[in-house]
Chain A
Amino acid sequence: MIYKSLRSEKVALKGVNLKIPKGKIYGLLGPNGAGKTTLISIMATLLKQTRGKVEVLGFDSIKEAREIRKRINIASGNPNLIWSLTVYENLRYYAMLYGIRDRSVVERLIDTFELREFRDVEFNRLSTGNKQKLILARAFVNDPELVFLDEPTKGLDPPVAKRLREKILEMQKDLGISIVLTTHYMSEAEMMCERVAFINRGEIVAEGTKKELKGLLKMRDKITIETDSEIPHQISLPDGVYMMERDGKSLSFYVDDAEKRLWEIASEVAKFGRIKNIAVKEVDLEDIFNELAK
């Protein structure tokens, strides 16, 4: 169980207990200030927990921090590296910090992350997308067993973000490494993570695969019904409806089984207005996140 208090915040983490599987991409999701970055920083040995024990790759995060640092790396969505160093110089500097003498490691990363034409361009002259590529390339300089990615696609154009996600997946598959990913984009987590943990106010509120989480919340499907008029609040909800959301003339029902509940719900709604459209979809991480963040 990890606890962390910071002077600037009240309590950053309250008894977090997590086991991160090896060789998979694990998602840490939660609203701003939930404690995701604090947790990643503790696991990456950049921050010391106030209480509790953290083991990373079998090493104690306080007593064996250096052993952990040899085997992990980190990249965050704020692309900051030494401004006046070029792509090559930045990577070479960080490679040296891991005791890597072989310069071909740096050249290989430049190629892998498609930075060849920017090799001799200073960091502050790179586009945001290329800066982020360099940050990611840096995270693989020591051939890590575990990489922490803290919102790696934050603020990027959708095509660049997509390309980076593909690159991360490719690297994870090729190297068989473990990745802990924090993100605000639920679609990103859905696409990349095999398991996710939801953090809210410093606590893990749910953890598991998407299927397990849906089971946990007992809501599997989302039925959205559009009507030609606003539906009054006194609409009665049948069994199996766990939540209802309103957005103007549109109502969303989170249910255990859409097939079982659709007819009953539609009949109830039809009493108050003419149904224009019905959409049924599986509950996604965003729906689960919205529910858990409440």
Chain B
Amino acid sequence: MSLLSEIYKTLGFTYRNFMITKRNFFTIFETLFWPVLGLISVGLMSIYLDLEERYFAFILVGAITLSILQVSQLDVAYVLLFDIWSKSLKYTLVSPISGWNMILGSWLFGIARGLIAFFILFLSSKAIFNVSLLISFPELILFLFGVFLSAKIIGIITCSLLLIFGYRAEIFAWTLSAIFMLICGIYYPVSLLPEAIRVISYSIPLTHFLEYYRSFFGFETSFPDPLATGYFLSFAEISLLFLFYLWALDRARKRGTITQFSE
């Protein structure tokens, strides 16, 4: 098993997602139209409510994070969805690839799409609302990478559910990120949430990454080091969820789900 060969297998999924996105108007829409529309509507609402600039930034951070999370996690889910829709899953899974090749390759393209969405929204918030969300470059990168890890978490959950529940689970590709954002404090601090839900919020890395970014605009964080907490939780959860994904894949091979998806 040469490293170069493994890299190439991983990039196979990046290449496929790129080629499909390039040709698919719908996926371009996902990257540009909905995120910008969301930002403008939330921005206008903030102007109407006459929010202070730091609260305005708080809201916009939520809107932007939701968009990049949604765009990036979709690419991870697409690694199975494109094959399921085309009924070609067996041709992908008969090749000597690992679960990591699939998740990592599609996630890389998700990062690229997420970065494009971020820069468009970042520039739009400055141009349209004159709100700068700029923080120092390394801190911005650390925040973004954290959000991309959260996208990977959601993507792995969606892929696992697809293998377990079949076509019915594709709805999760469009709903899970919104549910995550709701729990993680999209437009409000998580301290507002009922205590039982707050416990769940703290177990989700995205909560800490959002608090980390918002801390640069003067907001308090729930934990002393939200970045370290977020990264620790991300790596722990990705490891566990990846095992869950491998179990779901193995279960699909036992139950004949892969061949059913290809008929």
Interface, chain A (partner B; CB < 8 A): 6-8, 37-38, 41, 44-48, 66-67, 69-70, 72-74, 76, 78, 80-85, 89, 92-94, 96-101, 122, 138, 142
B86 to chain A: closest residue by CB: A82
Contacts of B101 in A (CB 8 A): 97
| Alpha-carbon separation in the docked complex, A97 to B101 (Å) | 9
Known A-B contacts A81-B91, A97-B12; A46 and B258 likewise in contact (beta carbons under 8 Å): yes
Expressed in whole angstroms, the minimum distance between the Cβ of B245 and any Cβ of chain A is 17
A37 to chain B: closest residue by CB: B259
Contact B19 A89 (CB under 8 A): yes
The answer to whether B242 has its CB under 8 Å from any CB of chain A is no
Contact B88 A80 (CB under 8 A): yes
Known A-B contacts A93-B16, A101-B8; A66 and B96 likewise in contact (beta carbons under 8 Å): yes
Contact B96 A46 (CB under 8 A): no
Known A-B contacts A69-B94, A81-B88, A82-B83; A41 and B259 likewise in contact (beta carbons under 8 Å): yes
Interface, chain B (partner A; CB < 8 A): 2, 4-6, 8-9, 11-12, 15-16, 19-20, 23-24, 82-83, 85-88, 90-98, 101, 250, 253-256, 258-260, 262-263
Contact B95 A94 (CB under 8 A): yes
- Which of A6, A8, A46, A99 is close to B2, meaning CB atoms less than 8 Å apart? A99
Interchain residue pairs with CB less than 8 A apart (28): A8-B256, A8-B260, A38-B256, A41-B90, A41-B256, A44-B94, A45-B253, A46-B94, A47-B258, A47-B259, A48-B250, A69-B94, A69-B95, A69-B96, A72-B94, A76-B262, A78-B262, A81-B88, A82-B16, A82-B82, A85-B16, A85-B19, A98-B96, A99-B2, A99-B5, A99-B96, A101-B8, A142-B95
B2 to chain A: closest residue by CB: A99
| Alpha-carbon separation in the docked complex, A80 to B11 (Å) | 22
